[in-house]
Amino acid sequence: MSSTLLRTVPALRGALRASGAPKAVGAMASTSFVRGKATLPDLAYDYGALEPHISGKIMELHHTKHHQTYVNGLNSALQTIGEAESKGDFTKAATIAPLLNFHGGGHINHSLFWENLAPASRDGGGEPDGALKKAIDSDFGSFDTFRSQMNTALAGIQGSGWAWLVKDKSAGTLGLVTRANQDPVSGPYVPLMGIDAWEHAYYLQYENRKAEYFDAIWNVINWKTVASRYEKS
Ligand SMILES: [Fe+2]
């Protein structure tokens, strides 16, 4: 892996640091790698467990087809870059960088997404408490204001992308960011909770009524996971 290319994908670089371990799974970079290869992480709940808010069919397709495609694409991009680098063909390696960003970002984003969801009958929904609640109240005014701003950000995404609750590492404050396509959250921001605004995340159930999906998903947000990411960041 070219260190130059990895500098273009800081979040992926962080995830790959764990690649020496047989299976590295952590709260902050839960993307799993085995011997340097990305692998599809297991979900902590059944595909139908988020119903009626997210259908089991969507969850199954989203996990086994869409996320798997990002895993495969990431491994393919890594292999191609490695081969090009070994031959000194840096032009070819550079041309693969966008694929590395897309598929690597897709793997990172979805791995975080599955973890910040939970069945409404278990840990999903409601509102955060503790230090995270205090930070949301301080930086957004209230939880309701935060949720409203997040939904506005989601509705404003043109095409495919994500909205994220993030923590600014240097300022220590919370904020909202959107990312196009599968661009990972990086730089000064730690992703705490993300909502997938790609059509594949809702269309089978909500069709063109994406605002209904953006409302419903709050019933299955796992605030324990989000609070844990906040406290460890
Ligand atoms: Fe997705």
Q: Lowest mean pLDDT of 18-22, 48-52, 94-98, 111-115, name the range.
A: 18-22
The answer on 111 and 142 residing in a single domain is no
The 10s digit of each residue's pLDDT in 9-22 is 444 544 443 333 33
| Ligand 1 centre distance from Cα of residue 198 (Å) | 6
Tell me what pLDDT residue 27 has.
35
Interval between CA 85 and ligand 1 midpoint (Å): 30
Among 72, 87, 115, the domain boundary falls at: 115
Determine, yes or no, domain membership for 123: no
Together in a domain, 48 and 90: yes
CA of 138 to the centre of ligand 1 (A): 30
The answer to whether residue 124 sits within a structural domain is no
pLDDT above 90 covers what percent of the chain?
A: 85
Task: Enter the DSSP assignment of 124.
Answer: B
- CA 73 – ligand 1 centroid, Å: 14
Q: Is residue 11 part of a domain?
A: yes
CA–centroid distance, 162 to ligand 1, in Å, is 9
User: If you measure from the C-alpha of residue 72 to the centroid of ligand 1, how many angstroms do you get, rounded to a whole number?
Assistant: 15
Residues 198 and 172 in one domain: yes
Are 74 and 153 part of one and the same domain?
A: no
Q: Are residues 138 and 111 in the same domain?
A: no
Q: What range defines the domain where residue 7 resides?
A: 3-115
Q: Which residues contact 2 (CB under 8 A, 6 or more apart)?
A: 81, 85, 90, 93
88 CA from centroid of ligand 1 (Å): 35
Residue 72 lies in a domain: yes
**Ligand 1 centroid, distance to 134 Cα (angstroms):** 30
Q: Of 78, 139, 76, 116, give the one whose Cα is nearest residue 217.
A: 116
- For the chain, what is the mean pLDDT? 89
166 Cα: distance to centroid of ligand 1 (angstroms): 19
101 and 166 in a single domain? The answer is: no
Q: Any idea what the CATH number is for the domain that residue 210 is in?
A: 3.55.40.20
What CA–CA distances, in Å, run from 15 to 24, 38, 79, 132, 228?
9, 10, 16, 24, 18
- Band the pLDDT of 36: cuts 50, 70, 90: confident
pTM value is 0.87
**Residue 111 included in any domain:** yes
Q: CATH number of the domain that 9 lies in?
A: 1.10.287.990
Report CA(17)–ligand 1 centroid distance (Å): 24
- Rounded Cα gap, residues 130 and 141, in angstroms: 15
109 and 13 in a common domain: yes
Domain C-terminal end among 84, 115, 146: 115
With 50 as the cut, is the pLDDT of residue 7 above it?
no
Tracing tokens 């839960």 back to the chain, one arrives at: 30
pLDDT in tens, 147-158: 999 999 999 999
Give the side-chain half-sphere CA count within 13 A for 24.
17
Q: How many domains in the chain? A: 2
More confident residue, 14 or 193: 193
How many other β-carbons are positioned within 10 Å of the β-carbon of residue 126? 12
213 belongs to a structural domain? yes
Q: What is the 3-state secondary structure (H, E, C) of 51-80?
A: CCCCCHHHHHHHHHHHHHHHHHHHHHHHHH
Q: Which whole number is the average pLDDT over 110-132?
A: 97
Q: Is residue 120 part of a domain?
A: no
How far away, in angstroms, is 67 Cα from ligand 1 center?
7
Q: Tell whether the model's pLDDT for residue 201 goes beyond 70.
A: yes
Quote the pLDDT of residue 10.
Answer: 46
Higher pLDDT, 19 or 46: 46
Q: Are residues 107 and 29 in the same domain?
A: yes
**Is 196 exposed, middle or buried, given 0-12, 13-18 or 19+ CB atoms closer than 10 A?**
buried
Quote the ligand 1 centre to 112 CA distance (angstroms): 11
Query: Are both 103 and 147 inside the same structural domain?
Result: no
Q: Is residue 121 part of a domain?
A: no
pLDDT, tens digit (0-9, with 9 covering 90-100), for 168-185 = 999 999 999 999 999 999
Please give the pLDDT value at position 33.
55
Same domain, yes or no: 110 and 140 = no
Task: Compute the distance from residue 186 Cα to the ligand 1 centre, in Å.
Answer: 18
Mean pLDDT (whole number) for 160-174: 97
Same domain, 85 and 134: no
How many whole angstroms separate alpha carbon 126 and alpha carbon 203? Answer: 24
**DSSP strand E in the chain: where?**
32-34, 37-39, 161-168, 174-180, 189-196
Are 104 and 138 part of one and the same domain?
A: no
Average pLDDT over residues 131-149: 98
Band (34; pLDDT cuts 50, 70, 90):
low
